């Protein structure tokens, strides 16, 4: 009987099976790093990343082009949109949506209005008698500063802007946001927007970012002759809102207020008092 052949020994091999490495007088240097030539090439690569970040003027221009296609044709308003970085005024978690045509929450039950609505309101203001004569909004009053984005746009379009916010946290946030832009012609007030701001009245332009049941008498009293007011207001007998334009016309020493209604909108409610 023949004996079965021995199976080859699997790993690990015995020490007697391992061949010895040849000896060398030269010491072998281990180099886990990449080759010096490749590392030097990486270090020499100085080109800045190319792309369309949120701080890119091209991103804002895309928004401007969309607004123009949708009918906004006031070049001064479009230029303001091209210059003001909207992403700086929203929460970082929402910054990716900053240049979409959508409203975004800014906390405390408030929102930043969609660009198309803001653009429409600013364009209506620019068509007021005084604004058309001066080529800008003159002395302007904003009711509802919010995060400060519309105030930044208004600052580009007016000689002087007074903006009122009734919610202290938003007032403080607007100060922080607008401080980055170093606007010298914007004054932020913490107070009740329904009362306007008498010390700087009268105003050539007044715009509100909240909608009520009526136009407060204080706003009309602070609107200069030839001035224009634009605000969202509830339609009588309903819950829907429309943009309301009021022009202060002075004829033979007699003031008249001409009111017209425009398209439907949706804004947060106009409230009294401060918080």
What ranges do the domains of the chain cover?
Answer: 57-265
Average the pLDDT over 256-273 and give the result: 95
User: Distance (Å, rounded) from C-alpha 122 to C-alpha 137?
Assistant: 9
**Residue 162: predicted pLDDT:** 98
Using a pLDDT cut of 70, give the percent of the chain over it.
80
Cβ(153)–Cβ(177) under 8 Å? no
- Looking at the domain 57-265, which fold is it? Rossmann fold (3.40.50)
Mean pLDDT of the residues in the chain: 87
The tens digit of pLDDT for each residue in 204-217 reads 999 999 998 899 99
The tens digit of pLDDT for each residue in 63-104 reads 999 999 999 999 999 999 999 999 999 999 999 999 999 999
The tens digit of pLDDT for each residue in 241-260 reads 999 999 999 999 899 999 99
Sign of the C-alpha dihedral, residues 170, 172, 173, 178?
Answer: positive
Write down the catalytic residue from 19, 113, 158, 272.
113
Query: Could you confirm whether 113 is annotated as catalytic?
Result: yes
């Amino acid at each position: 009987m023949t004996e079965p052949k021995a199976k080859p020994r699997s790993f690990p091999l015995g020490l007697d099976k391992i061949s010895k490495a040849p000896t060398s007088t030269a010491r072998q240097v281990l180099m886990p790093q990449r080759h010096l030539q490749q590392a030097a090439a990486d270090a020499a690569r100085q080109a800045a990343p190319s792309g369309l970040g949120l701080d890119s003027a091209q991103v804002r221009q895309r928004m401007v082009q969309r607004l123009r296609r949708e009918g906004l044709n006031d070049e001064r308003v479009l230029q303001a949109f091209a210059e003001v970085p909207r992403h700086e005024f929203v929460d970082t978690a929402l910054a990716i949506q900053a240049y979409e045509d959508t409203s975004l929450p800014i906390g405390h039950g408030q929102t930043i209005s969609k660009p198309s609505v803001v653009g429409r309101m600013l364009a209506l203001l620019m068509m007021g008698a005084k604004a058309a004569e001066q080529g800008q909004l003159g002395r302007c009053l904003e009711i509802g500063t919010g995060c400060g984005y519309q105030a930044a746009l208004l600052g580009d379009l007016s000689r002087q802007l007074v903006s009122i916010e009734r919610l202290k946290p938003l007032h403080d946030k607007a100060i922080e946001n607008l401080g980055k832009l170093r606007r010298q012609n914007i004054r932020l007030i913490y107070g009740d927007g329904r009362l306007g701001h008498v010390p700087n009245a009268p105003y050539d332009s007044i715009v509100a970012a909240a909608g009520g049941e009526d136009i407060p008498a204080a706003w009309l009293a602070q609107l200069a002759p030839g001035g224009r007011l634009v605000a969202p207001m509830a339609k009588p007998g309903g819950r829907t809102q429309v943009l309301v334009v009021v022009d202060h016309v002075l004829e033979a020493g007699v003031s008249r207020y001409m009111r017209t209604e425009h398209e439907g909108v949706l804004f947060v409610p106009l409230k009294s008092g401060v918080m």
